Amino acid sequence: MTRVAFQGELGAFSQVAAAQLAGNRFTPVPLPAFDAVFAALANGKCDKAVIPIENTLHGSVHENYDLLLRFDSNIQGETFVRIVHNVIAPPGVGFHRIRRIYSHPVALNQCRKFFEKHGKIEQVPFYDTAGSVKMIMRDSLRDAGAIASAAAADQYGAVILRKSIEDDPENFTRFFLLASGINKAKTQKRDPRKRYKTSLVFTTRNVPGALFRSVSAFALRDLNLTKIESRPLRGKPWEYLFYLDFIGHVDDPPCRNALNHLAELADMLKVLGCYPAA
């Protein structure tokens, strides 16, 4: 079975994304950190990897863009996961018995209205959302809950007491499915019914108009950008890194021409992958 690595405990939102991207039949390989995920892919300790790349509330995950540049992987798919937070407890523990709730502080903070309404319930910060479900189950806590995904409740045999308690329903994370760069040659077969997206990173010197000329490589060929983001390169005060996604397959002539045109203008250009748009 395909081994899919991701950062976090079993039941993490990345595992939910992995199920959307790789089907339900895969062996999850939970790892403590993003660089460990990329290393596992490079070393062949897993077949695929799933990483979060941007969130509608918190922005792009620059750390993973950096790792995409450092490691020789390629993007094979993308998916969006709605971040739904649930109150989860061991079976038999009723909601009225919950005195404290464990979760990652970012998750606790995304459920502020819930805690305002239930002022007597104490918030206890924990290192991980799914990890907090694992802990309350392992320790068979009878007066505590956790905030995590439905997948985490499933994973550890816990029960959902309150569904979707997050303040903002517009909380989505975009994930990439990665394969090792070594497999780049045997590219996925192109599906003519699908719309493809291409992701790349490039740098330009920060001269006025540099971005304009770069964007023109796509505009002149009527290609549609779905993401552009600049990032100042610290230590190189006048240089910028750009993340750019556009609709199109690298094998289409207009896309190939646009990439050649951009390569003329850019100091560095790396195509991170070409994959069916979610």
Residues designated as active site: 173, 175
CB 79 within 8 A of CB 17: yes
Q: Does 268 bind its own copies (CB under 8 A)?
A: no
The residue from 39, 159, 160, 228 that contacts its own copies (CB under 8 A) is: 228
The Cβ of residue 237 has, within 10 Å, a number of other Cβ atoms equal to 8
Q: Where are the beta strands (DSSP E) in 56-171?
A: 59-60, 73-82, 86-89, 100-103, 122-125, 144-148, 159-162
Q: Does 257 bind its own copies (CB under 8 A)?
A: no
Chain residues 12-41 in contact with its own copies, contact rule CB under 8 A: 33
- Pick between residue 44 and residue 125 the one whose CB is nearest to its own copies: 125
- Pick between residue 48 and residue 104 the one whose CB is nearest to its own copies: 104
Chain residues 73-112 in contact with its own copies, contact rule CB under 8 A: 104-106, 108-109, 112
Q: Does 61 bind its own copies (CB under 8 A)?
A: yes
Beta bridge partners of 276: 196
Give the total residue count for the chain: 278
**Region from 85-93, 146-154, 156-164, 204-212 binding its own copies, contact rule CB under 8 A:** 204-212
Here the tokens at position 208 are 């006025």
CB 240 within 8 A of CB 230: yes
Contacts of 171 (CB under 8 A, 6+ apart): 55, 56, 57, 82, 83, 110
Q: Which residues bind its own copies (CB under 8 A)?
A: 33, 54-63, 104-106, 108-109, 112, 123, 125-128, 170, 172, 206-209, 211-213, 215-216, 218-219, 222-232, 234-235
